[in-house]
Amino acid sequence: MKLISFEDQPTGDNSKVQLLIRINNNDTMNIKEKFKQYISKKSKFGIASDILFGVFIIALLFPQSRMEIMAFVNKGKMLVIQPSVKESDNTVKLVDTDYQMAFNDLKGQNLDFSSLKGKVIFMNFWATWCPPCVAELPAIQELYNLYKDNSNVVFLIVGTEAPEDIQRFITKKSYTFPVYINKYKLPDIFSTSSIPTTFVISKSGKMVIHEVGAVNWAGDRMKKTMETLINE
């Protein structure tokens, strides 16, 4: 902004108005000049990048947009992360008390976890407000589509929110995997303070996967693991 000395200016009201106009005009000219300099120094790609970055920052100010953006970012990271499968010697085997828990589906029907003994169990703990959880759900849906008709495999996608809130979310996203509500204290072996957390249990009761965080559940490693567990 160009500095203007008030000592050299008349003191009448009209002169004050003229002074303010001159200051505003100088500001406008400076902004235009700076914008021209910015355009001349930036490539089209650079300008586009700056615009997208600005839109990104603005979108983060709104909760719904922020959720979608964070889920998208986590999905990009998730695609390159495969689940960690434990070696046979390092697996923990569940005991009878570890099966003593129950869940309700979204219609209120009870599921006794002990009834799943002898099956391959894929159990994921998640929430609709959790970006990493939301990011990995499409991959879980893809894995579910592959094995939903296999009687040796069962999926439990477990939330703690109100059933109507979860139902609204999965309907909007067109997910078809079975969702359950956890209303009871989990056995220590399944206790977790972070979500998403996923457990995969073999037919013989061994915990072959204990994964904290979003990973690619539809990748080749997981498919190979599932086939091995089904055929054991």
Q: pLDDT tens digits, residue range 64-76?
A: 555 555 555 555 5
Between 2-6, 125-129, 146-150, 192-196, the lowest mean confidence (pLDDT) is in: 2-6
The one-letter amino acid code at 8 reads D
Judged by phi (left if over 0) then psi (alpha if -120 to 50, else beta), residue 127 lies in: beta
Which residues have C-beta within 8 Å of that of residue 177, sequence separation ≥ 6?
140, 141, 144, 148, 155, 157
Q: Does domain 78-230 have CATH number 3.40.630.30?
A: no
Query: Per-residue pLDDT tens for 110-138?
Result: 999 999 999 999 999 999 999 899 999 99
Q: Give yes or no for a contact between 85 and 228, defined as CB atoms under 8 angstroms apart.
A: no
* Rounded distance between C-alpha atoms, residue 28 and residue 2, angstroms: 11
Strand-pair category, 179-181 with 153-159: parallel
Q: Give yes or no for a contact between 166 and 159, defined as CB atoms under 8 angstroms apart.
A: yes
Q: Give yes or no for a contact between 70 and 131, defined as CB atoms under 8 angstroms apart.
A: yes
DSSP SS3 for 193: coil
Domain ranges in the chain?
6-75, 78-230
Mean pLDDT, residues 51-62: 50
Comparing CA positions, the residue from 208, 220, 188 lying closest to residue 92 is: 208
Q: Does this model's pTM top 0.85?
A: no
